[in-house]
Structure 1
Amino acid sequence: MAATVVLLRDSADGLEVLMLERPGKGTFAGAWVFPGGKVDPDDYLEAEAEAGVPASPGTAVVNGLAKQLAAARNAGVRETFEETGLRIAGQELVHLSNWVPRHSLVRRFQTWFFLAAAPDGEVQLNDDELAGYAWMSPAEALRRHQAGSMQLVPPTWVTLHELSGFATVSDALAAVRGARPFDFESHVIDDPATGQIIVWAGDDAYPGPGPAASAGARHRLSTGSLPWRYERDH
């Protein structure tokens, strides 16, 4: 399990998001991502302590969705500070979405995505883990990706796409607080004509559990060529 924190700030040009550049080797090599990382055993132990539940010696096993969410919040706070030097509190994180990668990947982590207003202070980049950082509007990040100058992975791209419609941090946080976090459990289709398509619940091609979508319904990201194209009917 992993956690990702999307830090937002207001600027003279509108809403901006903090993007971090991964180095040219390792996980997500060369990609621009949000702060975050794997949930560690101590994050589970802290969640159990916060809930008043004794931890099992040597296991740090947390049962229940609420405790998993608490552990993910702890990881988000910790990873954000480790990568950027910015301190946020767990209660400031607004749950945005959950991402489960396709089954064909060797390393699969369910990732909890959170939004938060960026705290005051300058970014102090962890040079051992990151190659650079930038504040920019979601639309600018998408434009750079379309131009081929910024590498993004699908969860980052979709999150930026969803944030591009907000003018301020308060607007974005209010909208997310008022919505149910969406579970993006990915299924990949290789289309001979257009290339790779990632589909999620709500798309008529999605094979997962739950009620069948109506014919022609769309919730998908076409990634076969630039620009990527996102379709969501609901």
Structure 2
Amino acid sequence: MLEMGEGDVPIVPSATVVPVRDGPQGLEVLLLQRNRALKHMGGEWVFPGGRIDPSDYPVAGDHDQAALHAAIRETREEADVQITLEQLHFLSHWTTPEGARRRYSTWFFLAVLDADAEIRVDGGEISAHRWVRPQDAFAEIRDTQSPFRLMPPTFVSLVDLADFRDCATARAALGARPPRRYAPRMIMQEGGVCFLYEEDAGYANLVEAVSGPRHRTYMINDQLEYIREGVE
């Protein structure tokens, strides 16, 4: 079922998996590169995921259960990895902001994989994969000569995981935390955009310069900065 957003832009239900493993130097996250020939986000590095299909609904209208089934299916289709419902932890939910040409309502799930899990991409929609420590991904983004770029939901998910030394610690801590929900509102900036989230003091009135809690992401000249201050 599609919701209709501003200007009758459909909001498409979708699901994403954030796969993690214990690497030689700590927690690593799996990223997949979308084929550069694709019109939508071609060449971008993303997590496994995609829209929820009608066949993913065990019960009509149950989006939460459908998202779990879609997450399992998409991970199998894009990375050739079989995960189970028990492996999935509801991490966050993202809604694409108004004004975007395509809008999604996306469930993000954390999944811990075995360190030796074999990843195979299809070479079609997905052209490559890599395991990366969040800290290394941040350093690569800061390198203006690097073509490596992430969209805000992927970046914020990596920030969520960056301080954990291993998968068990991450799973325990994030499992004790309610899922975070992001429905960004955009303020255009010179060279980019500021995404405000609901807990931000400027969210309701769409004001950037405001005192109080700050929960936002800046994406300026392909550089990302996530700020969460004064928010529980």
TM category (shorter chain) comes to: 0.7 to 0.9
Moved over 4 A (4+): none
Q: Deviations over 1:142-173 (max 9, x none)?
A: 21122142121110011111111111001111
The equivalent position to 2:113 in structure 1, one of 112, 118, 127, is: 118
Question: What's the counterpart of residue 207 of structure 1?
Answer: 204
5+ residue gaps, structure 1, are: 49-60, 209-213
Indicate conservation of the 8 Å contact 2:152/2:224, yes or no.
Answer: no
Among all aligned residue pairs of Structure 1 and Structure 2, give the percentage whose two residues are the same amino acid: 35
SS where residue 109 of structure 1 aligns? strand
How many angstroms apart in 2 are the aligned matches of 1:224 and 1:134?
A: 25
Q: Which moved more, 1:159-168 or 1:199-208?
A: 199-208
2:187 matches 1:189: yes
2:92 matches 1:94: no
TM normalised by structure 1 equals 0.85
| Greater per-residue strand proportion | 2
5+ residue gaps, structure 2, are: 1-12
Indicate conservation of the 8 Å contact 1:30/1:151, yes or no.
Answer: no
Question: What's the counterpart of residue 43 of structure 1?
Answer: 56
CA shift in 2, pair 1:195/1:107, >3 Å:
closer
Question: What's the counterpart of residue 157 of structure 2?
Answer: 159
Cα root mean square deviation, aligned: 1.6
The equivalent position to 2:224 in structure 1, one of 208, 216, 228, is: 228
How many angstroms apart in 2 are the aligned matches of 1:26 and 1:206?
A: 31
Q: Which moved more, 1:220-229 or 1:153-162?
A: 220-229
Q: Aligned-pair distance for 1:226?
A: 5.0
How many angstroms apart in 2 are the aligned matches of 1:121 and 1:160?
A: 20
How many angstroms apart in 2 are the aligned matches of 1:176 and 1:13?
A: 21
How many angstroms apart in 2 are the aligned matches of 1:166 and 1:225?
A: 29
Give the counterpart letter for 1:188 in structure 2.
M
SS where residue 143 of structure 1 aligns? helix
The equivalent position to 2:143 in structure 1, one of 141, 147, 151, is: 147
Q: Aligned-pair distance for 1:225?
A: 2.9
Give the counterpart letter for 1:42 in structure 2.
S
